């Protein structure tokens, strides 16, 4: 069963977002990092970020400048919740319970999947980012 293949921890290898005009955008930088976890009880969490985000000048995470806070937020995607796998449609649905992006809370994030060796490739449904519709292609590698 495909659901069993999801269970475990995955590290992000690449994240590309393609627009309707077939332009590739690296919305998390060219060397993003991330971790995706699925457990056997149906819970999941995802963290993705641009590792090139600038540090805050102050060491106080509540005292960032507006520019620092914007860069930190825009260079980070995260959510957690539960998940379901539909093998016939080759999709995994993430039922979002929490996220720094409030619009995702209570929403379903659908990802179309394929497995290739020790890699999991997820494609997003079309979504609005930076004023354009994009589809993400995220490649994850199983952490042993």
pLDDT of residue 98: 98
Q: Which two tokens stand for residue 30?
A: 């060219």
CATH number of the domain enclosing 7: 2.40.128.280
pLDDT of residue 129: 82
Q: What are phi and psi of 72, to 5 degrees?
A: -65, -45
**C-alpha 52: how far from chain center:** 17
pLDDT of residue 22: 86
Q: Which two tokens stand for residue 97?
A: 């319970």
Domain extent, residue 34, equals 2-142
pTM for this prediction: 0.91
pLDDT of residue 25: 86
pLDDT of residue 144: 85
Q: Rounded to whole angstroms, how far apart are CA atoms 95 and 81?
A: 5
pLDDT of residue 112: 98
Q: What are phi and psi of 30, to 5 degrees?
A: -85, -10
Structural domain total, the chain: 1
Q: DSSP string spanning 115-136? A: EETTEEEEEEPPEEETTEEEEE
**Per-block mean pLDDT, blocks of 10 residues, the chain (144 long):** 96 94 88 97 97 93 93 94 98 98 96 98 91 93 94
């Amino acid at each position: 069963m495909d659901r069993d293949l999801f269970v475990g921890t995955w590290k992000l290898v690449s994240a590309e977002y393609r627009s309707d005009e077939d332009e590739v955008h690296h919305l998390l930088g060219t060397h993003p990092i991330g971790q995706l976890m699925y457990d056997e009880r149906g819970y999941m969490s995802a963290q993705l970020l641009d590792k090139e985000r600038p540090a805050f000048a102050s060491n106080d995470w509540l005292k960032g400048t507006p520019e620092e806070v914007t860069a930190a937020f825009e260079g980070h995607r995260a959510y957690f919740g539960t998940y379901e796998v539909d093998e016939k449609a080759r999709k995994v649905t993430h039922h979002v319970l929490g996220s720094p992006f409030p619009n995702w809370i209570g929403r379903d994030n659908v990802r179309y999947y394929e497995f290739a060796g020790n890699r999991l490739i997820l494609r997003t449904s079309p979504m609005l980012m930076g004023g354009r519709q994009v589809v993400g292609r995220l490649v994850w590698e199983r952490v042993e």
